[in-house]
A and B are shown apart, each in its own frame.
Chain A
Amino acid sequence: MRFADLLQFNGRLLLRQRFRTAMSLLAMAVGVAAVLLLTGLGEGARQFVLNEFSLLGSDVLIMLPGRKETTGGMPPITGEGTRDITLEDVEALGRLNGVRRVAPLIVGNAQTHVGGRSRELLTVGTSEVFFAIRKLKTLQGRPLPVMPLKRAEPVCILGTDARRELFGARPALGEWLRIGDRRFRVIGILDDRGESLGMEMSEAILIPVAAAQQIFDVQGMFRVFLQVRPGSPMEDVRGEILALMQQRHGGERDVTLITQDALLGAFDDILRLLTLGVGAIAAISLLVAGILIMNITLISVSQRTREIGLLKALGASAATVRLLFVCEALQLALLGCLIGIASGYGLLALGHWLWPLLPFVVSLWALGAALLIAIATALLFAWLPASRAARLPPVLALQGMQGGAR
C-alpha cells in the first residue's frame, strides 16, 4: 500500500469520527503544549539568571569570609566566626602581581533620611573599582571618587528608584541626606540597569567602604571582588590570593574564593534540574495522551473487525493491517503534536509580549523530547492493538468475531 493512500485512508477514518479524533488531538496537544510551556519558562528563567550573572565578566573572582568546601554549591551568606577580611587585606590583595584591581563590599540595610522623608535602603559600601568591575554607569553626576580605601568621604550615589523614593520629583544631585546619624552629599545617580547578583541596584545607595564600616560598625568585608590581570592564568592567581590570605590570617585558610563560572555553574545546574523536573511532570500528561490513543486504537480495532477481515480477503497482509492501525495512531499523535507546538509557543510568545522581561526561549531539546515522547507513546501504545488486528484470522474477522487470535 502506498504511503499517500495510507494517509488518505486513515484521514477518511479520522474525519468520520470527528469527536473521537478531536478528543485525542486535544489530549496530545495539551501534553505537548504543557511540556513546551513549562520547559520554555524554565529555560527562560535560566537564561535570565545567566545573563544577569555573566555581567560580572569571567575574569572576576569573588572572595567571601569563612571556609566552605564549595566547588560548585551556593556561596555561604555570612562568615561563621572566622577572621574578618579587613581593608588592609584588601589593600594587600591589590598589590598582588596577578590581580588587576580589587573592590571591597559591605552591604546592609540602613535608614536614610531626607528632610521629612525616611526610607530603609540597601546600602552598599565600596570603592570606585566596583563601578569598573560591575560596569556601572552614572546617569547624572559621577561615580565614587578615587581615594584611599580608609577615607570615609561623605558622598553617595543613588539608584534611580532610591532617588525617586527619597526626593520625588525634586532634583537630588548636590543635595544632602542622612544615613543613620551621618550626612552624605549626593554626587551621582546610577544608570538604571535593573538587578544583578541578587542586588537591586536601582534601590541601592552607594557610599565609600570606610563610611559603611562606621555606619554598620563592622570591620570585615561582606565580599571582595578581584579582577585578574589579563594574561595571568586564573588558577595561578587563585593560588596566589589564597596563599596571601592564609599568611595574613595566621596560617588559617578562612576565606572562600569562587569564580563566576562556579557560581553560574551552580545556578545553571539547579535551574536545569528544575526545568527538567517540570518538563518531566508535563511529560506525564503526554503519557496519559498515549494511553488514550491506545484505548482509541483498541476500540477502533474491535469496531472494525469486519473491515479488517475484508481488507485481508482483498489481499492486505498482516503487516499492512498493522501499519494501518499504527499509522492511524501516529497521524493522530503528529497532528496533536503540531497543534501542541503551535499553541505552546504561541502562549510563550504571548507571555513574552506581555512581560518582556520573560525571555522567549525555543528550547530545541524540549521540542525534540516532546515530539519523541509523543510519537514513542503513540507507537508503543498502538502497537499492541494493531498487532492484535493484524493477527485476526480472516474468516473469523469477516464473521465479526474477535475470537482467539491464533
Chain B
Amino acid sequence: MIRLEAVCRTYRLGDQPVKALDRVDLDIDAGAYVSVMGPSGSGKSTLLNVIGLLDTPDSGRYQLEGREMTCLDEEARAAERNRRIGFVFQAYHLIDRLSARENIELPLVLAGMAPSERRPLVDDIVDRLGLTERAGHLPRQLSGGQRQRVAIARAVIRKPALLLADEPTGNLDSHSGAEVIELLEELNDQGITLLVVTHDPNIGRRAGRRLRMEDGRITADRSGTETGDALR
C-alpha cells in the first residue's frame, strides 16, 4: 500500500541543513496498524507528512496504492489527500466557528458533495462515534477527548484507505487518550490502514508493527506481539 524508497527530506535552519528524513525505505501493507516512536526531532512528523502528501520529499520515490506520488503537482496531491488520506493531529485543528457537525462535514463540502448526499454520511459517522448529543456544539464547548473524536470523525468521513495520527493523545489525559486509541483501533479493525506517531510506549506497543526513528532514519522495525521493552 505504501512504499518509500530512499526518501530524503532536508530542512534548512539558517545555514544549517537538517536531515529530517535520511534515505528512508519503508513498505506498509494495506490494513496494517503501525506505530512510530522515537525522540522528538527524529523525523516522525516529517515521515507522516510525506506519507500524507502534506510535504514533498527532496529525493526518493513514494508510491501509494501502487501509484507514483512524487510526480504529482499540488492540485493532484490535494485531491489525493481528500480521497485517500485522513489526518488526526495532536492539536485537533478544528475550525472554532463551525459546529462539531460542520467540522466533520468539511471534507465532503470541499469535495463538492451535495448537501442531500452529505447528510446521511455525517449522521452515520456522528452516530457511530457517539457524538449525536454534541453535534451542534462548537469546539470550545467540547472536552479534549470529544474534540479529538470530532477530528477523527472528520478524518474518516470520506472513508479513506489511510489514517495518519500524529500524537493524537498528546493533549489528552490517559483516560480519554485510551478511548481515542481504542476508537482508532476499531477503525483499523474495519480495514483502514493506521499509522500512529506517539511518545507513549504503552500506546506504541499495541500496534502490530512498531517503528523506531532516530535522526531521520528508521532504526528499528518490529512486528508481532512482543513486549514493548525492545523499543526502549
Q: A interface vs B, CB < 8 Å?
A: 1-2, 4-5, 9, 12-13, 16, 306-307, 309-320, 393-395, 398
Q: B230: CB under 8 A from chain A?
A: no
Those of B82-99 within 8 Å (CB) of chain A: 82-83, 87, 89, 93, 95, 97-98
Q: B66: CB under 8 A from chain A?
A: no
Q: Contacts A313-B87, A314-B154 hold; do A398 and B93 have CB atoms under 8 A apart?
A: yes
Separation of A12 and B78 alpha carbons in the complex (Å): 24
Separation of A338 and B55 alpha carbons in the complex (Å): 43
Cβ 8 A contact of A2, one of B49, B74, B112, B154: B112
Provide the residues of chain B in CB contact with A393, threshold 8 Å. 55
Contact B78 A307 (CB under 8 A): no
**Which residue of A13, A319, A398 has the most chain B CB atoms within 10 A of its CB atom?**
A398
Contact B107 A315 (CB under 8 A): yes
Provide the residues of chain B in CB contact with A310, threshold 8 Å. 93, 95
**Which residue of B52, B81, B107, B110 has the most chain A CB atoms within 10 A of its CB atom?**
B110
- 25 A–B contacts from the bound complex (CB under 8 Å): A2-B112, A4-B115, A9-B109, A12-B98, A16-B97, A310-B95, A312-B78, A313-B52, A313-B81, A313-B87, A314-B110, A315-B78, A315-B79, A315-B83, A315-B110, A316-B78, A316-B110, A317-B75, A317-B79, A319-B75, A320-B78, A320-B110, A394-B54, A395-B49, A398-B89
Contact B109 A2 (CB under 8 A): yes
- Other contacts beyond A315-B107, A398-B89: 11, CB < 8 A: A12-B97, A311-B110, A312-B54, A313-B93, A314-B87, A316-B82, A316-B110, A317-B78, A318-B74, A318-B78, A393-B55
Contact A1 B78 (CB under 8 A): no
The smallest beta-carbon distance between B27 and chain A, in angstroms, is 23
Closest residue of chain B to A17, judged by CB? B97
Separation of A312 and B75 alpha carbons in the complex (Å): 10
Contact B97 A13 (CB under 8 A): yes
Separation of A393 and B77 alpha carbons in the complex (Å): 12
Provide the residues of chain B in CB contact with A319, threshold 8 Å. 75
The smallest beta-carbon distance between A400 and chain B, in angstroms, is 9
Provide the residues of chain A in CB contact with B49, threshold 8 Å. 395
Provide the residues of chain A in CB contact with B78, threshold 8 Å. 312, 315-318, 320
Closest residue of chain A to B12, judged by CB? A404
Q: B106: CB under 8 A from chain A?
A: yes
Separation of A12 and B98 alpha carbons in the complex (Å): 8
Provide the residues of chain B in CB contact with A312, threshold 8 Å. 54, 78, 81
Provide the residues of chain B in CB contact with A313, threshold 8 Å. 52, 54, 81, 87, 93
The smallest beta-carbon distance between B170 and chain A, in angstroms, is 14
Q: B interface vs A, CB < 8 Å?
A: 49, 52, 54-55, 74-75, 78-79, 81-83, 87, 89, 93, 95, 97-98, 106-107, 109-112, 114-115, 154, 158
What are the 9 A-B residue pairs with the smallest beta carbon separation, nearest first? A315-B82, A317-B78, A394-B54, A310-B93, A395-B55, A314-B107, A315-B81, A5-B109, A317-B75
The smallest beta-carbon distance between A389 and chain B, in angstroms, is 13
Contact B112 A1 (CB under 8 A): yes
Separation of A314 and B155 alpha carbons in the complex (Å): 8
Provide the residues of chain A in CB contact with B114, threshold 8 Å. 2
Separation of A69 and B111 alpha carbons in the complex (Å): 71
Provide the residues of chain B in CB contact with A307, threshold 8 Å. 95
Cβ 8 A contact of B54, one of A9, A318, A398: A398
The smallest beta-carbon distance between B169 and chain A, in angstroms, is 18
Provide the residues of chain B in CB contact with A2, threshold 8 Å. 109, 112, 114
Provide the residues of chain A in CB contact with B111, threshold 8 Å. 315
Separation of A317 and B89 alpha carbons in the complex (Å): 20
Provide the residues of chain A in CB contact with B106, threshold 8 Å. 311, 314
Cβ 8 A contact of B110, one of A1, A13, A395: A1
**Which residue of A2, A312, A314 has the most chain B CB atoms within 10 A of its CB atom?**
A314
Separation of A395 and B45 alpha carbons in the complex (Å): 10
Separation of A4 and B114 alpha carbons in the complex (Å): 10
Separation of A10 and B83 alpha carbons in the complex (Å): 24
**Which residue of A4, A309, A310, A316 has the most chain B CB atoms within 10 A of its CB atom?**
A310
Provide the residues of chain A in CB contact with B115, threshold 8 Å. 4-5
Separation of A24 and B49 alpha carbons in the complex (Å): 38
Provide the residues of chain A in CB contact with B52, threshold 8 Å. 313
Separation of A5 and B110 alpha carbons in the complex (Å): 9
Separation of A12 and B112 alpha carbons in the complex (Å): 18
Provide the residues of chain A in CB contact with B154, threshold 8 Å. 314
Q: Contacts A2-B114, A310-B95, A313-B87 hold; do A395 and B54 have CB atoms under 8 A apart?
A: yes
Contact A306 B75 (CB under 8 A): no
The smallest beta-carbon distance between B141 and chain A, in angstroms, is 15
Provide the residues of chain A in CB contact with B98, threshold 8 Å. 12
Provide the residues of chain B in CB contact with A1, threshold 8 Å. 109-110, 112
Separation of A315 and B112 alpha carbons in the complex (Å): 11
Separation of A314 and B83 alpha carbons in the complex (Å): 9
Closest residue of chain A to B111, judged by CB? A315
The smallest beta-carbon distance between A11 and chain B, in angstroms, is 11
